[in-house]
Amino acid sequence: MLEVRALSKSFGGLAAVDRVSLDVGHDEIVALIGPNGAGKTTLFACIAGFIEADAGSVRFLGSDITGLPPHRICARGIARTFQITQPFARLSVLENVMVGAYHTTRVRRDAADRAEEVAWQLGLGPQLDMRADALTLAGRKRLELARALATRPKLLLLDEVMAGLNPLEVEDVVAMVRAIRAGGVVVLLIEHVMQAVVSLARRVYVLSNGRIIANGSPAAIAADPGVIEAYLGHGAAARLQRGGLHA
């Protein structure tokens, strides 16, 4: 469904995304993990058209979408959320989600219905009339999700929708993402919360210093020496194998 090939983006001399290739199939939830600063968000921004890549290509449903502006990419069926939530602060929750819903209809009534449906699905029902800037962090993360989902995407790019949530809230969002997947939407998610990654994704890509260093099932990834080193530092994998990490 989504094919990223040798995508590269440098800022100054720093290769934030370095020849990254990844695939997302038609019926999966794929996770993208990696240490802070690995280039995950930059990669998302390149896919969604917010940053123009220096090289490489992005294909979606068989057609090339490299370099298209964000609204065109959304029109193709890719919706994204922002790691740092970007609510329409002075609009109500309903109005926020309606902006997404208006993507597929120009009729106000239809947009409102769609928005309410999505908001309830994501547990925002009781806050429909609340201003977006009055929401808690958990609420804002859900709002990001709701707005994106309201555009009726085929592929959702979720950028750390669980960061900063407590374990109970994470469980809620995990269930929601699973429900979204069951509704026919493919999900590619950036996530640090391993609890979520393990329970959602069958496949995981690991990005470190702009490069994909591993991909596979969550269990295989967790045992991969390269991944352990990327997170814990050089030599950590060997020390772990010798029996416990003594920092």
Q: Does 207 bind other proteins (CB under 8 A)?
A: no
In angstroms, give the least distance from the CB of 100 to other proteins: 5
Instruction: Report yes or no: 74 and 113 within 8 Å, Cβ to Cβ.
Output: no
* Span near other proteins by CB under 8 A; candidates 31-39, 78-86, 168-176, 181-189: 78-86
Residue 114 vs 203, nearer CB to other proteins: 114
Tell me the C-alpha distance between 88 and 73, whole Å.
21
Burial class (CB in 10 A: 0-12, 13-18, 19+), 149: buried
Among 34, 100, 210, 218, interactor with other proteins by CB under 8 A: 100
Alpha-carbon Rg for the chain, nearest whole angstrom, is 19
Contact with other proteins (CB under 8 A) among 17, 148, 158, 227:
148
Which residue stretch of 9-17, 86-94, 186-194, 237-245 sits at the interface with other proteins (rule: CB under 8 A)? 86-94
Distance separating alpha carbons of residues 44 and 78, to the nearest angstrom: 11
Q: Which of 212, 215, 221, 217 is nearest to 6 (CA)?
A: 212
Q: Are 87 and 99 in contact (CB under 8 A)?
A: no
Instruction: Tell me whether residue 90 or residue 242 sits nearer to other proteins (CB atom).
Output: 90
Q: Rounded to whole angstroms, how far apart are CA atoms 168 and 22?
A: 31
Member of 59, 88, 125, 199 binding other proteins (CB under 8 A): 88
CB of 186 to other proteins, least distance (A): 17
Distance from the Cα of residue 39 to its chain's centroid: 13
Which of 99, 128, 163, 213 touches other proteins (CB under 8 A)? 99
Query: Does the CA dihedral 219-222-225-227 come out positive or negative?
Result: positive
Is 98 among the residues that bind other proteins (CB under 8 A)?
A: yes
Among 22, 102, 124, 140, interactor with other proteins by CB under 8 A: 102
Closest CA to 215 of 231, 227, 233: 227
| Contacts of other proteins in 24-53 (CB under 8 A) | 48, 50
Asked if 67 interacts with other proteins (CB under 8 A), we say no
CB of 142 to other proteins, least distance (A): 15
Q: How far is CA 247 from CA 14, 194, 200, 224, 240, in A?
A: 30, 22, 31, 19, 10
Residue type, 61: L
Piece of 18-26, 80-88, 190-198, 229-237 that binds other proteins (CB under 8 A): 80-88
- The nearest distance, CB 28 to other proteins, in angstroms, is 22
Q: How far is the CB of 82 from other proteins (least distance, A)?
A: 7
Binding site for other proteins (CB under 8 A): 48, 50, 69-71, 74-75, 79-80, 82, 86-91, 95, 98-100, 102-103, 105-106, 108, 111, 147-148, 150-151
